[in-house]
Structure 1
């Protein structure tokens, strides 16, 4: 096989996100549930005759050498060299970018995870899922989740994952028109870091026994982002008229769950023209799984 085309890199939503503390090295201790949705970037991989790793299209504001796609490919290339004593072929990587940057939906991390999984397959590198997760973690705390490949209850810095069931539903996601830098949120004086720990059964039992449409827990980063970025606060307020609207990740995207596609469509039809908004369906597993069998 010399190429892999249309490899999906799905968005994620944080159904809740609690900050429980901070390690001595500065990393924050979190608890969250990651939910993949069917809104995806698309990546294309073509093997080269040399060993060069090249992104074949521009992404505004993201130089190739800083791109997580290229950095992930370099990490895996170095790992293959270490294991085999020879470099694998180079790769031309194209990307159709749909997911917003600075939106909290994990676009860059998802692209990097898809790159690691696709190249592991193309190069026949033989790394296990856990080995790929470990390789990707230094690049971004969300990358292991996408390689994990299913709805996950995450702890630690986001790398300690357990599978968990979440509601089968549709989401409306609003992009408020700002990019929120993750570092600015986590370094803010307004961020609390003392939310009590919950158990995976607390999340599961909430949805198993719920009598209303409100989600579990909260997003501790939301209070910071809405204070620093008023457009995020406006999006939360507007979408909150239709249900339990909350921010995903460190922002800026805001989402709300609906039981049916028709309900999501009805809300989408009312979104103010100043915003970009879209609907997406919850996924139970990473859509690349079938491609790499």
Structure 2
């Protein structure tokens, strides 16, 4: 019997530079993705009654926009068009979500959920699609979904979909979570967002101090995030925004070092400790490499 519990790991952006903008509005990026040993848990039970439903969706987003539901339907429709037989119309699944990745935090929760659904249902429905096909399907849901499907830390360019596997040092992190959800679209649509960082080689980027081009705009627009970052910088100079949301990463060489700083957090701050990993916890658990 197939395991029905699947992890959807969080990611961090060790750096994020915006090098331009395409005519269709998509931004051109250079970023370094790494996974965290921390994530949502999806319980997925496939069925053959044709229905796909999400149970306990916390009412944070409608089914029409929910990436979990959209991913399942996209995969089913792909198979139906490919096979053109009536049996594939009977593919279904009941999915429930235990949500721990902060919404709007920049940790990739929605994209990771979508990727995990594609991988899990590919297994449970016995479709035998390879990662390249799943990544192409996932790209229709979001530019960073292919990263979660491929399961390796990566340097990303383009809109975030051109991936080069790379294995930076695995470290311990405090992920600080300000009490605010930030929309990626709001940040990318801000007229004052920096969009002209020079496109540099990976070798140059790796020896430069890591930064996030979205941080200045987020700090200006959201006082609570600025307050959190200001406190963190006094204690951990490496602290910086991760992704395009509200969460802040602070890196440490050991778990003990991270715990010492976390114990100093004032009562208006919340954070959690996680270790980064260059192989997705989902891929590690299910030995996904196909």
TM-score for both structures, normalised by structure 2: 0.94
- Which shows bigger deviation, 194-203 or 81-90? 81-90
Q: In the aligned structure 2, how far is the partner of 1:97 from the partner of 1:17?
A: 25
Match of 1:36 in 2: 35
Deviation at 1:278, TM superposition (A): 0.2
Q: How many residues align?
A: 283
Ranges in structure 1 where 5+ consecutive residues have no aligned partner: 207-214
1:248 equivalent in structure 2: 242
Q: Is the 8 A contact 2:57 2:96 kept in 1?
A: no
**Could you tell me which of 252, 258, 262 is aligned with 1:258?**
252
Quote how far apart the aligned CAs of 1:89 are: 2.1
Equivalent residues of 1:264, 1:279 under 8 A apart = yes
* 1:218 equivalent in structure 2: 211
Could you say which residue in structure 1 is the equivalent of 2:266? 272
**Residue deviations 1:164-188 (CA, integer Å, cap 9, x gap):** 1212210001111111111111111
- How far apart are 1:292 and its partner, in Å? 5.1
Q: How does 1:86-165 map to 2 (within 5 A)?
A: 86=85, 87=88, 89-165=91-167
* Counterpart Cα distance in 2 of 1:263 and 1:142: 31
1:244, CA displacement in angstroms? 1.0
Contact persistence 1:265–1:279 (CA under 8 A): yes
Contact 1:30 1:154 in 2 (8 A): yes
* 2:182 corresponding residue in structure 1: 180
Q: Structure 2 CA distance, aligned partners of 1:221 and 1:127?
A: 36
Distance change (3 Å), C-alpha of 1:35 and 1:271: same
Q: Distance in 2 between matches of 1:60 and 1:202?
A: 44
2:260 is paired with a residue of what secondary structure? helix
8 Å contact kept, 1:15–1:216: no
What is the root-mean-square deviation of aligned Cα atoms in Å? 1.4
Task: Spell out structure 1 runs of 4+ moving beyond 6 A.
Answer: none
- How far is the alpha carbon of 1:13 from its aligned partner? 0.6
Distance in structure 2 (CA, Å) of the matches to 1:272 and 1:51: 50
**What is the aligned counterpart of 2:226 among 222, 233, 254?**
233
**1:19 matched residue in structure 2:** 18
Separation (CA, whole Å) in 2 of partners of 1:125 and 1:238: 50
Q: 1:167 to 1:216 in 2, by over 3 A?
A: farther
